Structure 1
Amino acid sequence: METTTKKRRIGIIGGTFNPIHLGHLMIAEVAYEEFELEQVIFVPTHISPHKFHDVISAYHRYAMTAAAVEDNPHFTISDVEIKRDGYSYTIDTIRYFQEQMGPDVEFYFIAGTDTIELLPSWHYIDELLQLCHFIGAMRPDAKEMVDSVLEFFGEKAIGRIHLLQVPEMKLSATYLRERLRAGKTVRYMLPKCVVDYITNNNIYTDVDSTSVLHTEHTN
């Protein structure tokens, strides 16, 4: 009797991570557990085709992401998109990991609600839906939007776009950058190692760097 080998499941979470925050990490952790992933690979973009305003250098974004995932044994990071010239397209990244890991791996691209909304405009999206699964982290107010995306793809979405219920965390990188520039606390919003990196490198703010440091370490 022929036995079927269960494929390994690898999660990929891409983004500008400008900066990486606890919302990104929480979504990746819940997806890891719910979909029985072997690991989750964080892939900071070089130049995103969707986000190009107010984006700091890839060097800093990679360094912050690496620091944020270092203490989690099933999280890792890849610089594949940063090393690639031009825009970062997910289709190229998935093809790269397929080539590296072989045919016995299923890839699950982890995305937030805003990313799922943009899927119809993605580069080579029909091929992507064949090459990998999508895990969409759901906001409570996003059901109507997600339903419209699923309707757009029709049968192509069946078994390929999965919805993930996560604890509500209304964090955005834009909101955090605004707080950092205003010298306001980001405690419990960013990992401490990321705050330390931002402070030490004077990123996102022109105010005295000690103001951000102070708000992070006040008991």
Structure 2
Amino acid sequence: MGAEIDKKKIAVIGGSFNPVTNAHVWMAEAVLSAFPGMHQVWMMPAHRHPFEKHRGYSSHRSRMIRLVETARIRYFGYEIDHELSGVTYMTFCRLLNDPDYRDPFVFYMVIGGDCVVDFDTKWQHAEELAAMVPFIIVPRQGYDLSGYRGLLSRPPHVLLRHAHIPNISATEVRARIASGASIREMVPAEVASYIRRHRLYEERNGGTAGNPPDRFPPPAA
């Protein structure tokens, strides 16, 4: 028991982060505010995505997360560095048995309320995953979880009932850029500057110019 107490608590937010938005950052801040004992939140971009809809942006996705790092919000390139499938169950099977991470950390998984609705039926190995790692659920506008009685409705899983996250999607950000519309207040200023500098998500070039390195050292403990 003492060894478990000594471990640092880490909350992991997974996703495409194509690009990282203010909603991602506010989600991380909400978790840190709700759990004073949480050491850090790590943002883990997916290595792969069904239909390869994010192919060509891996380097940029990693770099943009790096731009929003703070002392307690960190980039975590585990899926990309190990070229994993993107199936959350498989990623956590490996992570929780990796001595570099298993021994010093206790992990939590952070997801939005929109993902909870279909968790039991659409997530691969949902029952095993729910038993493997505690989930922290952040509400999303338009998704009422008051009647949810599924796998994540009971402890150790937790719903942050009073968190207020802006209804911003990366899909909408990309669409607005492609149409020439403003993305002000949708992404952090540093990310907006990066997107403009590399001309990402513009229809005329597909946003694939200038790929910087996408492999970084693990977050500092």
Structure 1: distance between partners of 2:138 and 2:80: 25
Give, in whole Å, the separation in 2 of the partners of 1:140 and 1:79: 28
- Matches for 1:65-80 after TM superposition, within 5 Å: 65-69=65-69, 72-80=70-78
Which deviates more from structure 2 when the two are superposed, residues 4-13 or residues 33-42?
4-13
Q: CA deviation at 1:199?
A: 1.1
Aligned position for 2:150: 152
Aligned ranges 1:87-106 → 2 under 5 Å: 87-98=85-96, 99=98, 100-103=100-103, 105-106=105-106
Equivalent-residue separation in structure 2 for 1:87 and 1:5 (angstroms): 29
The structural deviation recorded for 1:44 is 0.3
Q: 2:189 aligns with which of 183, 189, 192?
A: 192
Q: Which has the higher contact order (CA 8 A, sep 6+)?
A: 2
> CA 1:42–1:123 in structure 2 vs 1: closer, same or farther (change >3 Å)?
same
The superposition leaves residues 113-138 of structure 1 with CA deviations (integer Å, 9 ceiling, x where unpaired) of 22222322212222222221111111
CA contact (8 A) 1:129 1:160 kept: no
| Residue in structure 2 matched with residue 212 of structure 1 by the alignment | none
2:159 corresponds in structure 1 to 163
Asked if the contact 1:182/1:207 (under 8 Å) is kept, the reply is no
Q: State the alpha-carbon separation in 2 of the partners of residues 53 and 92 from structure 1.
A: 21
Q: After the TM superposition, list the runs of 4 or more consecutive aligned residues in structure 1 that deviate by more than 6 angstroms.
A: none
Q: Is the 8 A contact 2:139 2:164 kept in 1?
A: no
Question: For 2:180, what is the secondary structure of its paired residue?
Answer: coil
Count of aligned residue pairs for this structure pair: 199
How far did 1:93 drift? 2.6
> What is the identity, as a one-letter code, of the residue corresponding to 1:29?
E
Q: Does 1:141 find its partner at 2:138? A: no
Distance 1:63 1:28 in 2: 18
Residues 39 and 75 in structure 1, CA contact (< 8 A), matched pair in contact too: yes
Question: TM-score w.r.t. structure 1 length?
Answer: 0.79
How many angstroms does 1:55 deviate by?
5.7
Q: 1:190 to 1:56 in 2, by over 3 A?
A: farther
Q: Deviations over 1:67-124 (max 9, x none)?
A: 122xx10111122211334621222332333222235643111111222223222122
Is the 8 Å Cα contact of residues 180 and 186 (structure 1) preserved in structure 2? Answer: yes
Structure 1 residue 48 and structure 2 residue 46: aligned?
no
More helix per residue: 1 or 2?
1
One-letter amino acid of the counterpart of residue 85, structure 2 = Y
| Structure 2 residue identity aligned to 1:81 | E
Distance 1:4 1:198, change over 3 A: closer
Which residues of 2 match residues 98-137 of structure 1 at below 5 A? 98=96, 99=98, 100-103=100-103, 105-120=105-120, 121-137=122-138
In 2, the alpha carbon distance for the partners of 1:32 and 1:97 equals 22
Distance 2:4 2:124 in 1: 32
Structure with bigger gyration radius: 1
Q: Structure 2 CA distance, aligned partners of 1:191 and 1:88?
A: 26
TM-score by length of 2: 0.78
Give the partner amino acid of 1:193.
Answer: E
Task: Name structure 1 gaps, 5 residues minimum.
Answer: 209-219
**Partner amino acid, structure 2, of 1:40:** V
C-alpha change, 1:207 and 1:185, in structure 2 (3 Å) is farther
Distance in 2, Cα, partners of 1:61 & 1:3: 38
The gaps in structure 2 that reach 5 residues or longer are: 206-221
Instruction: Output the CA distance in 2 between the equivalents of 1:147 and 1:55.
Output: 37
